[in-house]
Each structure stands twice: as structure tokens, then as C-alpha cells.
Structure 1
Amino acid sequence: MITVVGSINIDLIANVARLPKPGETLAGTAFTTAAGGKGANQALAARRAGAEVAMVGAVGADAFAEEALALLAAAKTDLSAIAHVEGATGIASILVGAEDGDNVIVVVAGANGEVGADAAKAAVDRMGKHDTLLLQMEIPAPAIEAALQAAQAQGVRSILNVAPLTEDAIALAPLAGIVIANETEFALLCRAKDQSAAERKDAMQTMSRDRHQTIIVTLGAEGVIAFHEGRMHRVQGLSIKPVDTVGAGDTFCGYLATGLDAGLNFELALRRAAVAGSLACLKPGAQPSIPLHSDVDAALADSR
């Protein structure tokens, strides 16, 4: 069983030929809305990967609330711990460039800012010792801290995706059993403006050893590198031409959590998650692009 404590958003997505420069106005080519939020995305990814999933978070009292939960509900995610609060549901304004599928995102927390420490701790208190807790940084830091501390006390596996990377993420990362970052986030986690591949590897190894953590860094087209139980692991995703990369990281996190929760060996869980993240780049939108486990199985078989 996986419990996700995190954000629930509506994504407002504008497609452009390329991403604008500062101060530049461009004509968009299309506009869509889609359910999103890093917490909800990762919960749906875990559910589509085959896990039983409970989502803990909050939506507002507006027209976006139902749409934000629609795909989670359709996937039969446990939504009993979702709070409905006054105000707006969280939103993310996303620009997607057609040239390479890259994106820029602005997030407005809305109801996500109302997720409190008591609700987060209560969610973990309901978990079993062999369950998995999955967290991100789009809800208030006290809620994340309470969840991580409760997970430590109960011996629950905890996974923290340090995105978006903030000072709070730097402070909270040592409390998690598994830390997931992209290469930019990991450099910031190390308080470095930039890192060579060798410097990143050394920093990951040191952090993993000193904190007794699993450290995972996603590298986009270059795959994933991890330090786990004293060993370095490196896996590749698929060779693709991305359409939209916005849901790739969250898909990776949800699939990795599911693989570990199901008892897969670490490297297989890592490879499966990397392939799922690649497939998520082939369709637009965060949640609509998340692949089913059957799609991932087929891609893994083809890649062999």
C-alpha cells in the first residue's frame, strides 16, 4: 500500500513553438486544462503501476476541484482523506515548447497550502510497517516534516521527491529513507551552482553513506543514477523524441514507489520507473500521459 501526501492541482497548459525569453510575448498554438499537482500525479502513476494507493491532500471550493480529482477517482484511488476547504484549488500554469517538449511552470498553492501537520501524521499513523510513504515539496513543510518523522518512528519506507527544490527541501531531505532529485535539484541540494558528472557522483556517494539513505538523481535522456546500500546503479530509459516532459519525473516517482512496495529488487524497480518516465514524455499533459503498467511491460520487453 502506498500513501501519497501531497499537492492536487489543475494544470493550465499553453503550447508554444518555443519557450519565450524574458519580456517576450509569443502566440500560443493550443490551450488545455488537465488534472495535475505533483502529489496527485505521483499517486495516479502508482495506481496505474498497479499499487493500492491512498491520496492525502486538499482541494478548494471551486469548479476546478472535481476536475482535479477526476482521474484519481476513475482509477479507484482512495480519496477519503482529501479535505475540501474554502478558497481555490491549486493551479499550475505551464508553457510547453514544441521544439523539444521542454516546459516552464508557475505553481499557485491554493488549497494545497492548507494541508497541515496533523493530517499528515494521521495519514502515516494509519499505515502498516511494510507500506510506502511518498512525498513532494508542494505542500507546507510542517506537514512533510510531520509525515517523515512519523514514518521514521513506525519504520515505514519514506520517499521524498525534493521538487520543487526549496530551503525547506534541503532541511527535510535528511529525514527521508529515499531521496529523488533531478540533476539541477541535486546540485542545489548540495548548495552547488553546478556539478560535473564526477562531482555529482562523489556527492551522491557521500550523502548516501553518511545519511544511510538511498539517493537517486534523474538525468533526462541520460537515464538515472542511484546509490543504494553502498552500490552505484545506473539505468537507461527509452530512446525517444519527447512531446511533453511535464509528467516524466512524477511518473518515475510513482512507478519506483510501486516497484519497491511490491518487493522488486532495486535495480529492476529503477529500470521500470525510468522506462515509465520515458513513455510519459510521448503524450501531452501530466496525468493523461502517465502510462499503464501493461504499456511499461511491453516497452521493457521490446527494449530487451
Structure 2
Amino acid sequence: MNITVVGSINLDFVASAPSLPAPGETVTGATLMRHPGGKGANQALAAEKLGAEVALIGRVGDDGMAGVALALMEDFGVDLAGVEVDIAAPTGVALIAVDPSGENQIVVAAGANHMVTPEQLPARIEGPLIVQLELPIATVEAAVGRAVGFVCANLAPAAPVSEALLRRADLIVVNEVEAEFYGDLLHHGGGRVVITQGARGAEMYQRGVKIAWASPPKITAVDATGAGDAFVGAITVALLDGMEPAEALKFACAAGAVAATRAGAQPSLPTRDEVEALLAKA
């Protein structure tokens, strides 16, 4: 399958700390690492490592961070011909704090991601499409409008979108907080809606009726960063592979679980063999 992802590209700066800070609090004793990230880039690499052929459309800055942000996708063969370089805006950056249980806090400076315009998109997007909301909403809406195949919309971070997008999406993926933001609007179209629930798993709905659910295998969490993006890539690949809803959810939950056992967003993303190995142990 050939999937197009229109989405964000970031470089993540991850501070692993003894605890997450409360408002106004300074936490010391952290260790710092940097990893490629961004929801679009993460989901592109996730789908590629799970067996799809993936092309990414996005934007980076003309700076030293861009090469690091793109490195893992280049290594695994994601098609980056649609990634443009912005001479004015910097590569997007995410500042991430992680505690020993794997919980995190994230602040994103979008940079060049906010310079991705509808003019950068092809007039027609063939094959399956994955989008998120870390690009300008107008660009996301344009991408969905130009898609002629399966559309997965990961409505994260939550933001107002048109009813046309909600109705066009074949698959909407949100977490519980995002689901509360959109409410019943999620279920107005005929597509499937998946609501993820962290360690408790995920549920799939169609026209407001729950049609499937699954729980992830038991793991020891290290860092939840990227686990949701692993889930999005995996549920898209699974459904396009023809898996039934419950089987697809189980596969995607396992992909997210594997990602949570390792540090970083893109470095944690699993291969298909790793997902199947975890499922075999469950």
C-alpha cells in the first residue's frame, strides 16, 4: 500500500526527570536527549516500519536541526520528496518532559510546520492519506479535500475543523480528551471513530455505536512519547490490510505498547515483527 502523510516534522528535546513539574516549579536532575519527532513524521515512519510505502509532505527550516529531524525517515525509506525547506522559519521543535512512569508534558514550537500551505499540496492525492492537526487547519482541510482514497484524520491536538472534514474521513482517531472536545460531532459521518484510552486500550465506533474494543498487552512503560502516533500508523495499516475492526485495534494497541517501552518518539516505533512478537506473547 502507498500512503501519503501530510503532517508536521519536529526535532524533540526530551528531558527525563524524576518528576514532572507543577506550575511554577523547577525540577532538577534530568537527562537530555534529542530525537526526530512531529506527529506527521512519526506516523509516516510508523506506517513505513509496519510494511507500507509512505510519502511525507511537510516543511523544515534551513538549519542544522532539519537533517536530524529527517534522518530516521531517510534511513527507513520514507519518500521525502514532498518535504520543502523554508528559508525563513526554523525546523519545528518539541520540548518534552518525561517522568519515570513514562508520563510526559509537551510544548511545541511549530516553526516551519506552520508555513505548509495548500499550494504545497498536489492537486490530487492518490491512495490512502493520513493527516493530523499540527499544520495549519486550512492545509489539512485542503489535503482531505484533494484525497480520492481512504482518509485517516488524527484530530490532535484538538482544534475546530469543518463538518466536511469530519464527514469525509473514513477513520477518525482521537484520545479521550480530544473526544470530549469534539463531542457528538465525531459521529456525524459514516466513517469509523477510534477513541484511545492509554493503557486501557481503545474503542471503535461507527455512527455512535461501539463496534469493537481492545486492550494492549502488559508492558513496563518507559516513555509514552510516540505511542499514540505508533497507534495511528498501525490502525491505518491494519485496516488497509483488511483486518477486522477488533483485530486491527488489537494490532494497533500492541504497536503503541511496544513504542511505550522505549525512549523517544521515532526511535521507539516498532517493526511489524516486533508487534507480532508481542501479540504472540500476550
Q: Tell me, in whole angstroms, the C-alpha distance in 1 between the residues paired with 2:186 and 2:265.
A: 30
Q: Secondary structure at the match of 1:260?
A: helix
2:110 is the alignment partner of 1:117: no
Q: Tell me, in whole angstroms, the C-alpha distance in 1 between the residues paired with 2:258 and 2:106.
A: 21
- Unaligned 5+ runs, structure 1: 191-202
Counterpart amino acid of residue 150 in structure 1:
R
1:232 maps to 211
Which one of the candidate residues 113, 128, 150 is aligned to 1:157? 150
Quick one: structure 1 residues 170 and 34, their matched pair in 2 at CA, closer, same or farther if it must change by over 3 Å?
Answer: farther
Q: Secondary structure at the match of 1:58?
A: strand
Alignment of 1:86-101 (within 5 A): 86=87, 87-98=89-100, 100-101=101-102
Q: Tell me, in whole angstroms, the C-alpha distance in 1 between the residues paired with 2:192 and 2:3.
A: 18
2:279 maps to 300
Quick one: structure 1 residues 94 and 231, their matched pair in 2 at CA, closer, same or farther if it must change by over 3 Å?
Answer: closer
- 1:292 Cα deviation after fit: 1.0
Q: Tell me, in whole angstroms, the C-alpha distance in 2 between the residues paired with 1:302 and 1:53.
A: 29
- 1:28 Cα deviation after fit: 3.5
Which one of the candidate residues 232, 235, 241 is aligned to 1:256? 235
Q: Secondary structure at the match of 2:135?
A: coil
Which one of the candidate residues 146, 159, 172 is aligned to 1:179? 172
2:8 maps to 7
CA displacement, residues 63-85 of structure 1 (integer Å, 9 cap, x when unaligned): 00001000000001111111011
Q: Tell me, in whole angstroms, the C-alpha distance in 1 between the residues paired with 2:238 and 2:271.
A: 14
Runs of 4+ in 1 over 3 A off after TM superposition: 168-175, 228-231
Q: Tell me, in whole angstroms, the C-alpha distance in 2 between the residues paired with 1:161 and 1:76.
A: 23
2:261 maps to 282
CA displacement, residues 49-97 of structure 1 (integer Å, 9 cap, x when unaligned): 0101001101100000001000000001111111011120000000001
Per mean C-alpha deviation after superposition, the further-off stretch among 159-168 and 61-70 is 159-168
Give the superposed CA RMSD: 1.7
Indicate if the aligned counterparts of 2:203 and 2:210 stay in contact, CA closer than 8 A. no
Indicate if the aligned counterparts of 2:47 and 2:237 stay in contact, CA closer than 8 A. yes
Q: Secondary structure at the match of 1:13?
A: strand
Indicate if the aligned counterparts of 1:14 and 1:28 stay in contact, CA closer than 8 A. no
CA displacement, residues 175-200 of structure 1 (integer Å, 9 cap, x when unaligned): 4221100011101112xxxxxxxxxx
Indicate if the aligned counterparts of 2:166 and 2:189 stay in contact, CA closer than 8 A. no
CA displacement, residues 265-301 of structure 1 (integer Å, 9 cap, x when unaligned): 2322221111000111001100001111111111111
1:223 maps to 201
Q: Tell me, in whole angstroms, the C-alpha distance in 2 between the residues paired with 1:115 and 1:219.
A: 31
Counterpart amino acid of residue 188 in structure 1:
F
- 1:167 Cα deviation after fit: 2.5
Give the count of matched residue pairs: 279
Indicate if the aligned counterparts of 2:95 and 2:107 stay in contact, CA closer than 8 A. yes
Q: Tell me, in whole angstroms, the C-alpha distance in 1 between the residues paired with 2:254 and 2:61.
A: 34
Q: Tell me, in whole angstroms, the C-alpha distance in 2 between the residues paired with 1:220 and 1:33.
A: 24
TM-score, normalised by the number of residues in structure 2? 0.94
Q: Tell me, in whole angstroms, the C-alpha distance in 1 between the residues paired with 2:203 and 2:61.
A: 38
1:61 maps to 62
- 1:118 Cα deviation after fit: 2.4
Q: Tell me, in whole angstroms, the C-alpha distance in 1 between the residues paired with 2:32 and 2:252.
A: 29
1:193 maps to none
Q: Secondary structure at the match of 2:41?
A: helix
Identity of matched residues, %: 39
2:130 is the alignment partner of 1:137: no
- 1:221 Cα deviation after fit: 1.1
TM-score, normalised by the number of residues in structure 1? 0.87
Q: Tell me, in whole angstroms, the C-alpha distance in 2 between the residues paired with 1:292 and 1:169.
A: 34
- 1:238 Cα deviation after fit: 1.2
2:160 maps to 167
Q: Tell me, in whole angstroms, the C-alpha distance in 1 between the residues paired with 2:60 and 2:29.
A: 29
- 1:264 Cα deviation after fit: 2.4
Per mean C-alpha deviation after superposition, the further-off stretch among 173-182 and 88-97 is 173-182
Q: Secondary structure at the match of 2:32?
A: strand
Quick one: structure 1 residues 6 and 300, their matched pair in 2 at CA, closer, same or farther if it must change by over 3 Å?
Answer: same
Q: Tell me, in whole angstroms, the C-alpha distance in 1 between the residues paired with 2:272 and 2:195.
A: 23
Quick one: structure 1 residues 271 and 73, their matched pair in 2 at CA, closer, same or farther if it must change by over 3 Å?
Answer: same
